[in-house]
Structure 1
């Protein structure tokens, strides 16, 4: 292998590589008792330097758990989390604290008002990560001013308190705190869900600019595809702890391979394409209650209008039809569109092939 080949491999290597990641939890009312649930199950995902990746899915799909596992807030039950060649999944105690102090991976939380200490000024909130690692006062002030400028806030905001800020301003402060350590990877948990339309666009453009200026890899966690259009390079779709589809955002929006991805797109008013489907075409009329599937079945089978006998087994991610750039975990990825006009079977029955 030549030096050029080695350099090319280094450039192509993912910044974050998650392999077979599983995170389990005890039911909230039965902690300490038998029985656990899987927040993530066998997830494989790569994030490359300088790209924006959307992680999308409904509540409970495992999106935030992925971020929390990467930054060490929850421990995986199985699998690996490789960040820039270092395994994070097994870090404990002092090793985990030492990694966190590097600030290389940061998480901007969903609700900035709750995650920002109301007793601290903006300067204290943004500078707190630097104070923890022992940065001297002069350097801390310089870095705080730099971070505020990067998110579009004037120095006069230093002495304000979070309660004195608008929702968009609080979100910018939250981002300033996240980037003040100069991270390489930034998770943003629902960064625009609580904002009005104008502020949503401003924050999303800000994330794109931060990616460009700082060379950040940014993971945007969202519950709808429409908020990712025009900013994300790729999208990863999660459902009940599993990754069910991933690929370039434009391709996924234009022609989803997984029925659940199509359902998300059909449920988003701002996602418009010539062949846009209606939600009722994709959901089984029986829903989750009347259609029971055995353990190990496809996680979407109970809601899917196209599930059949093969769906008794959870499918693995495989290349999606008609493209080499997308993968989907679906037994009917290449046939469900052709069956759109077929009448769905009666509730409680599994369609035959």
Structure 2
């Protein structure tokens, strides 16, 4: 992580927008700070307690978001009652419970990532052991429901990838196998029910289906899936233009916006979108070589974690690596701090990766 930050410092040499470069370096500071804390700081006495706090905080935040959505719905119903015009549609009634309208604290893709890690941590005996089983079950259900309601397509996909990975690794643990299988079944059932019963989820899924059917998105596209395809195309053009050194630490955003304007990409320009792919974003800023270093920064520790059977670290790294293919998460504080903090926390000694097996029966 520290090497990546130093490369961004070197990128100041050929950048012109120093204001944005300073902001970017401030956002990325945890990539340097936490490795230094790991090397020179004192290890935490109980990392599992911190993990319990994280799980509990996610559950509390989700309850707040759901209550806020209920309040919004009731307020909307009261405001439209007795007013001239049509009553609220089913789509309008469901909106407060999904995606950005639900996720008050974070972008929904980031919230889904936080909830997924919280769910993986909750499955560790060292984390859920001190809690009553019913409380752990309720929290697990809340986290699972939250991932579904975030309506993040990446979040949905990664939930099932994580579930399948856990099943493969813990198949001989009967209790864990049942828990994960029931969780996946519940998520699938909830997804099908929401697709059939809510216009919002139906529309989100139909967007993906439509995207795969069309050859290329329209320059006037106005949904998140097509927006990503447009910004990926723009970012790829910039990488081809500056393959070795990139545009510079502070010029990446300016260059992307310039291409959006030249190509007539209305929504990406209006929203001032980044590359929505961390590997592409890094390549645009500092060249293909730095993007490869970023990839190795994930792949090498992941392989090492699997070899050491440090599975929670491996799952955490994969969770970030896969999310980085659809979001430039190291360009915002919510992504940088999440990655740097938990990489530090999970790397500390005295944090075994797997709970003791409670049953070896098939």
TM exceeds 0.5? no
Instruction: Return the TM-score normalized by structure 2.
Output: 0.27
Going by fraction, where is strand more abundant, 1 or 2? 1
Going by fraction, where is helix more abundant, 1 or 2? 2
